[in-house]
Structure 1
Amino acid sequence: MMSSKTTNDTKRRQEFTDRCRYLGLKHLAEEYQQIVNKATERDVGYYDFISDVVQAEAAAKRQRRIEYLINTSRLPQPLKILADFDFDFQPKLSRKLIMDLASLSFIERKESILFLGSNGVGKSHIDRSLALMACQSGYKTYYTTCSEMINDLNAGVYEKTLDKRMRKYINPQLLLIDEMGHDRLYPNNNKIQTFL
């Protein structure tokens, strides 16, 4: 038989987690016992304890935001990282230039970057790596291929939803258009060509 103290403790914990969820403190609702145990081990004061709680919640929220940005970016799987790129395979490619791009300052300056080269030289690896870094830095990013975008915009012209469809390409802070080739453009639609 459960004691009234155990019942009260269980009820108090449930009320606490319900309040955390109501306030949007998802991490605290799930991890509060470990946070309390850690604070008890360290014998911290109230201020340090509250600071630890807020810091843990902020870190969890940031991680959820990054996961959301990666999921909504439509980046192909598996995700590419710049550390895996073989610069020795492409000796003519300036490592310094790519590392400068990795600072993502071109996004803040609202500059466009165009990678030119033959198939199989690593353009997609680099641009997808930069897009992943942008997501991890909190930038809204959207990946598409040129043919997907043109087909989508053409469908928007015929369905009279072009303005709505264009927003998904205009709103992100970084738009990554992969597999771009002039052979995929449709010359019969001036409105779309003007957008490009």
Structure 2
Amino acid sequence: MSRARRPMTEPAAEAAIDQACRALRLPTMRTRVNDLATAAEKEQLSYRGFLAELLIAECDDRDRRRSERRIKAAGFPRQKWLSDFDFDANPNISSAMINTLATCGWVRNGEPLCLVGDSGTGKSHLLIGLGAAAAMAGFRVRYVLAAKLVNELVEAADDKILNKTIARYGRVDLLCIDELGYMELDRHGAELLFQVLTEREETNSVAIASNESFSGWTKTFTDPRLCAAIVDRLTFGGNIIETGTGSYRLAHAHQKNLAMAAD
């Protein structure tokens, strides 16, 4: 017959909680237990209510840390959030469409996304912002410049690790390729990029940002048949957003200069 457990003193209870949270790797519960206990007493929560608040705090913080790790793993060059995008500055872009894309249904369905327009029209901001939204939603995301990706693929082919490299890019849920169209690719580089796109076709999403319209992609992919195949991979069943030709970065700088001159 077991003996009844003797009541703990407050210091002993605090020490036991601290030790148990460390052993169970519950850092948020360990740091917030005293504050939540005080709040629970003031609000006259039941034991179950207090425990629920404590567990919810731990779960929320774990979700936040996971999101931060996914954002970091994506390799974005800078932080860009959709909430910071100025839709009034570029009427070509529908806020309703971007908000729909931010729900990540297209990523879940493995659909491609193309952002096409001149420099300064918000392509990279939207590409990174949508990628960040996907990472926050739990998807594995990778951001890379088109030129860097092709160079990596060429080096991988030379080092006999091409299949491994393509498979690594194939595993992420969303591959964001920025600045496609800024440089001409030889046939070998274009073929390697095509292999990556084929690896992901209709299974995992690809999002690209390009300063060239599709008709101008022959400047980047000099082989017409290969160019047509790549355009087909990136547009079939996908989402296309044309960001226009007017640079809102330039317009913003002009307005700023006018304001400074007026002062």
TM range (shorter): 0.7 to 0.9
Are positions 1:83 and 2:83 aligned together? yes
TM-score computed with the length of structure 2 as normaliser: 0.65
Alignment of 1:52-71 (within 5 A): 52-71=53-72
User: Within 2, Cα distance between the matches of 1:167 and 1:38?
Assistant: 50
Secondary structure at 2:91 match in 1: coil
Task: Give the strand-richer structure, 1 or 2.
Answer: 2
TM-score computed with the length of structure 1 as normaliser: 0.85
Question: Corresponding residue for 2:220?
Answer: none
Number of matched residues?
Answer: 188
Secondary structure at 1:116 match in 2: strand
1:61: Cα distance to partner? Answer: 0.8
1:143: Cα distance to partner? Answer: 0.8
Secondary structure at 1:44 match in 2: coil
Are positions 1:101 and 2:124 aligned together? no
Secondary structure at 2:183 match in 1: helix
Report if the CA contact (8 A) 2:82-2:129 is conserved: yes
1:67: Cα distance to partner? Answer: 0.9
Change (3 A) 1:154 1:14: farther
Letter in 2 for 1:61: R
Question: Corresponding residue for 1:4?
Answer: none
Letter in 1 for 2:44: D
Change (3 A) 1:31 1:169: same
Letter in 2 for 1:97: M
Secondary structure at 2:177 match in 1: strand
Letter in 1 for 2:67: I
1:27: Cα distance to partner? Answer: 0.8
5+ long unaligned stretches in structure 2: 1-8, 198-263
Report if the CA contact (8 A) 2:141-2:176 is conserved: yes
1:10: Cα distance to partner? Answer: 5.3
1:92: Cα distance to partner? Answer: 2.5
Alignment of 1:16-165 (within 5 A): 16-77=17-78, 79-165=79-165
Identity %: 27
User: Within 1, Cα distance between the matches of 2:92 and 2:193?
Assistant: 35
Report if the CA contact (8 A) 1:146-1:184 is conserved: no
User: Within 1, Cα distance between the matches of 2:164 and 2:13?
Assistant: 48
Per-residue CA distance 1:71-107 (angstroms, 9 max, x = gap): 1111122x11223222233223333322222221111
Moved over 6 A (4+): none
Secondary structure at 2:113 match in 1: coil
Report if the CA contact (8 A) 1:139-1:174 is conserved: yes
RMSD: 2.1
Report if the CA contact (8 A) 1:107-1:174 is conserved: yes
User: After the TM superposition, which of the residue ranges 137-146 and 17-26 deviates more from structure 2?
Assistant: 17-26
1:183: Cα distance to partner? Answer: 2.8
Per-residue CA distance 1:144-196 (angstroms, 9 max, x = gap): 11111111122211222223322332122111111112735342254543333
5+ long unaligned stretches in structure 1: 1-7
1:60: Cα distance to partner? Answer: 0.9
Question: Corresponding residue for 2:212?
Answer: none
Report if the CA contact (8 A) 2:74-2:142 is conserved: yes
Report if the CA contact (8 A) 2:82-2:126 is conserved: yes
User: After the TM superposition, which of the residue ranges 96-105 and 13-22 deviates more from structure 2?
Assistant: 13-22
Secondary structure at 1:168 match in 2: helix
Change (3 A) 1:47 1:148: same
